[in-house]
Amino acid sequence: MAEMRMRDALREALREELRRDPTVFLMGEDIGAYGGSYSVTKGLLEEFGPERVRDTPIAESGIIGAGIGAALGGLRPMVELMTINFSLLALDQIVNTAAKLHYMTNGQMHVPMVIRMASGGGSQLAATHSHSLEGLYAHFPGLKVVCPSNPADAKGLLKRAFRDDNTVVFIEHTANYGFKGEVPDDPDFLVEFGQANVLREGSDVTIVGYSGSVHQAMRAAAMLEEQDEISAEVVDLRTLRPLDMDTVVRSVKKTNRAVIVEDAWKFGGFGGELSAQIMERAFDWLDAPVARVCSKDVPMPYNRDLEFAALPSEEDIVEAVLAMF
Amino acid sequence: MTAARPRRPRSRETLPDYLLSEQQLEDMYYYMLLSRRLSERMMALQRQGRAAFVIAGAGQEAAQVGAAMALKKGTDYLAPYYRDLGMNLVYGMDAREAMLNLLGKRDDPNSFGRQMPSHWGNAARRVVTQSSVVATQLLHAAGIGLAAKLSNDPIVVLTCCGEGSTSRGDFHEALNFASIHRLPVIFYIQNNGFAITERTEKEMAVENVADRARAYNMQSAVVDGMDCVAVYQTVRPAVDQARRGGGPFLIEAKCYRLWPHSSDDDDTRYRPRKELEEWAKKDPLVLFRARVETDGIFPREDLDEIEARVEEEVRDAVQWALMQPDPAPEDALGYVYKEL
Ligand SMILES: Cc1ncc(C[n+]2csc(CCOP(=O)(O)OP(=O)(O)O)c2C)c(N)n1
């Protein structure tokens, strides 16, 4: 075990996978000498050389398309998209090819590719640069969607992604990169997909989150305990596809209340899916309607005060919980 | 404040070596300087924690000011990119507005605190705002060109991006579209040698972005983007030709990014100091001043006076803008849809 930040844990995973599997290679904008916009690939060019750590032109659809081709050609590419915002330019390649090739060829072809991207608001990067699209990717059958909240999960899930024969969309919240935690150094350490994590046990309400919102959920849970003597259980989904509803449902049956937290918009969002599944499977156990704490229904504004107003906060979570009692 | 010195009125007659008047040359220097000094103060404010993010055009002032001055201000459309402070100043933005935009203040006429800094947009001035996703504006420019052509409006659209952004499909699609329909669009590519950290060799296999125009049967030119006068002399005929129905034109201004990519970037990780020192000798502001001084266009005191005026405007703008109100939190909610 060693304490490290999430960006370092991600780098360790990449390093170990590059060592383990000669077919693994990385490509993306500024990932070489610069080490990536969020310093995840720092030092990997020096260690593995320019064949395996490749800088690309600014052409998101191009590099995802070429990644699909490289996977078909027998390699295991990891494509870094600088941020999830630019993944919209590659959406067709991801959705219409990477996600569907296995199905459309009746299993003859598949696309073992890891697509990493930074996500989330809160950094004053405004409307076109602050997206939370985890739920969008989870919408498409054929993709796996991973969104770690802490360094150990980040490492274990990323290593697991390289062992998957499907395209894995691996989404990293920018606010989490600097987050520190204990990380196993065992090169065989993996975190299985589809296993939610109960980060905090509680009896009165279940707060479900993923990625950045998990930390807000934890802070809200602490506030509820201190100020209101309410015991909140916090569930970190870790992967949206596959989705571990069993853990969520088990928790809700225990607490009888559920609040879903995400940075994304509420309308048509992933929280709606969670809410529907809770209703389908635990309706009789609910003491209150499922609540969702999400961003306001606006593009993300730049000004700090406006951005605060648009994003969900731990106070919003506390308020949503209190409204259930 | 320095006491106003009586100034010799500037001539508006065209100087043969420049194809510009004294007044225009003074304006050129003023806008280039204002752009640089504003950017310096913006970086300082970012370092002090008063501004979240700065992206600037240091090294590209000549390329920007020379090109914008070739347009009919307020008539021709501008679809700029995030480094084009110099162009926006020519187009009527003043120092105070530039600072409101940086700070995301309530009264920023570009977006009232919504857009990132340097994503200027002003309908009255015909400046089209941009996405942070690079090169998307080139297609918007083609579309504005189409609208102008269909309505027989003799206007020109000038749109910009960096050379790195020309790897994107949008660049190629925009050139193709504009060329097929012979639209009045100037694709103005500011090649500053970098796409964040990546050098041109990693971005394209051709030597010049301008070479790419041939594939779309579009005219093109390469110009020394450190030389404001040369830029004007290159862009102006292309604009005039486009206005007369001669079709689109690609101009590549070769310049150099003197600063890091943005306030978030550490360029010491990928740029040798020696290289920077060499290019600093070709700083467009230094070159311009030396030329007009040597040619005897303006006496040194006049140039010093412009410098002092710019310093004062920037100082005032910072002081004033910092005191302006932020938007109220509930302002975040408006304008998602246009009310009918
Ligand atoms: C589609 C897209 N991909 C990546 C980015 C991140 N990014 C912002 S600026 C930039 C470099 C652009 O380089 P260039 O076009 O040469 O312009 P310069 O910044 O050098 O002026 C990149 C990669 C982006 N904004 N949009």
Q: Please state, as a whole number, how many other Cβ atoms lie within 10 Å of the Cβ of residue B161.
A: 29
CA of B165 to the centre of ligand 1 (A): 6
CA B155 and chain centroid, separation: 19
Domain that holds residue A43: 2-183
Could you tell me if A139 and A235 lie in one domain? no
Statement to judge: residues A174 and A266 lie in one domain? no
Closest CA to B71 of B314, B238, B239: B239
Give me the CATH number covering residue A307. Answer: 3.40.50.920
Question: Is A147 in the same domain as A222?
Answer: no
Residue that finishes a domain, picked among A183, A216, A240: A183
Q: Alpha-carbon distance A193 to A196, whole Å?
A: 9
Q: How far apart are CA B222 and CA B105, in angstroms?
A: 39
A33/A59 same-domain check: yes
Residue B272 has pLDDT above 80, yes or no: yes
Task: Give dist(CA A178, CA A3) in Å, integer.
Answer: 12
Chain A: give the shortest CA distance to residue B221, in Å. Answer: 23
A6 in the same domain as A154: yes
* Whether residue A275 sits in one domain with residue A150: no
B313 secondary structure, DSSP code: H
Could you list the beta-strand ranges (E) of B134-202: 157-162, 185-191, 194-195, 198-199
Domain of residue B164: give its range.
14-321
B158 lines ligand 1 (CB under 6 A): no
CATH of the domain at B116: 3.40.50.970
* CATH number of the domain within which A69 lies: 3.40.50.970
What per-residue confidence (pLDDT) applies to B1? Answer: 42
Radius of gyration of chain A (CA): 19
Task: Answer with the one of A183, A205, A230 that is the final residue of a domain.
Answer: A183
Residue B4: band (very low, low, confident or very high) from pLDDT cuts 50, 70, 90: low
Q: Is B190's pLDDT higher than 50?
A: yes
The residue of A39, A58, A266, A295 whose CB has the most chain B CBs within 10 angstroms, and thus the best one to mutate to test that interface, is A58
Cα dist. B299→A95, A132, B32, B302 in Å? 64, 57, 18, 6
Model confidence over B33-68: pLDDT tens digits? Answer: 999 999 999 999 999 999 999 999 999 999 999 999
The rounded percent of chain A whose pLDDT value lies above 90 is: 100
How far does the CA of residue B70 sit from the closest CA of chain A (Å)? 30
How many Å apart are CA A247 and CA A235, to the nearest integer? 8
Shared domain for A155 and A207, answered yes or no, is no
Q: Do B202 and A34 touch (CB under 8 A)?
A: no
In chain B, the number of structural domains is 1
- Report the pLDDT value the prediction gives residue B98, as an integer from 0 to 100: 98
Are A40 and A166 in a shared domain?
yes
Q: Which chain A residues are closer than 8 Å to B325 by Cβ?
A: none
Amino acid present at A177:
Y
Assess whether pLDDT exceeds 70 at residue B5: no
Residue B5 lies in a domain: no
Q: B-side interface with A, Cβ within 8 Å?
A: 52-53, 104-105, 111, 113-117, 119, 131-135, 164-165, 167-169, 195-198, 202-204, 269-270, 326-333, 336
In a domain, B38, yes or no: yes
CA distance A143 to chain B (A): 24
pLDDT at B144 > cutoff 90: yes
Burial of A159 (0-12, 13-18, 19+ CB in 10 A): buried
Nearest CA in chain A to B265: A37
So what's the pLDDT on residue B170? 98
In chain A, pLDDT over 70 holds for what percent of residues?
A: 100
Q: Could you tell me if A129 and A207 lie in one domain? A: no
Residue B6: per-residue pLDDT: 58
In this predicted structure, which of A22-26, A192-196, B13-17, B320-324 has the lowest mean pLDDT?
B13-17
Q: How far apart are CA A172 and CA A80, in angstroms?
A: 11
A78 and A20 in a common domain:
yes
- Does residue B286 surpass a pLDDT of 70? yes
Q: pLDDT, tens digit, for every residue of A120-135? A: 999 999 999 999 999 9
CA of B288 to the centre of ligand 1 (A): 28
CA angle A254, A173, A232 (to 5 degrees): 20
Do A305 and B195 make contact, defined as CB atoms within 8 angstroms? no
Residues A221 and A161 grouped into a single domain: no
Q: Does an H or E element contain A236, and which?
A: strand A232-236
Biggest distance spanned by C-alpha atoms of chain A: 59
Residue pLDDT, tens place only, A93-107: 999 999 999 999 999
Asked whether B166 and B212 are in contact (CB, 8 A), the reply is yes
Q: Scanning every residue of chain A, which has its alpha carbon at the shortest distance from the alpha carbon of B333? A: A298
**Residue B134 CB less than 6 A away from ligand 1:** yes
Q: Do B113 and A296 touch (CB under 8 A)?
A: no
Q: Note every long-range contact of A34-39, with CB atoms under 8 Å and residues 24 or more positions apart, other chains counting.
A: A34/B196, A34/B197, A34/B269, A34/B270, A35/B269, A36/A80, A36/A82, A37/A82, A37/A83, A37/A118, A37/B196, A38/A7, A38/A118, A38/A172, A38/A174, A38/A177, A39/A7, A39/A177
E strand map for chain B: 14-15, 20-21, 77-79, 157-162, 185-191, 194-195, 198-199, 219-224, 249-254
Residue A190 within a domain: no
Residue A191 lies in a domain: no
DSSP helix/strand/coil, B43:
helix
Contact call for residues B298 and B23 (beta carbons, < 8 A): no
- pLDDT for B2 beyond 70: no
Is position B203 within any domain? Answer: yes
Mean pLDDT, chain B, rounded, equals: 96
Q: Of the residues A102, A129, A139, A273, which is catalytic?
A: A129
- Which among B59, B60, B37, B41 has a CA at the least distance from the CA of B51? B41
What is the model's pLDDT at position A49? 98
The whole-number pLDDT of residue B340 equals 77
What pLDDT score does A273 carry?
Answer: 98
Q: Count how many domains chain A has.
A: 2
pLDDT score at B208: 98
Place of tokens 């700083």: B283
Name the DSSP class of A300: P
By Cβ distance, the residue of B196, B326, B336 closest to A303 is: B326
**What is the average per-residue pLDDT within B149-165?**
98
SS3 label, residue A237: coil
State the DSSP H helix or E strand holding residue A9, giving kind and residue range, or none if neither. helix A6-20
B87 lines ligand 1 (CB under 6 A): no
- Domain assignment of residue A77, yes or no: yes
Cα gap A142→A22, rounded to integer Å:
25
Is position B2 within any domain? no
Nearest 5 degrees, angle CA B270-CA B275-CA B279?
125
**More confident position, B1 or B239:** B239
The pLDDT confidence band at residue A323, using thresholds 50, 70 and 90, is very high
Residues A172 and A56 in one domain: yes
CA B52-B56-B61 angle, 5° bins: 160
Shortest-distance Cα residue to atom 12 of ligand 1 = B195
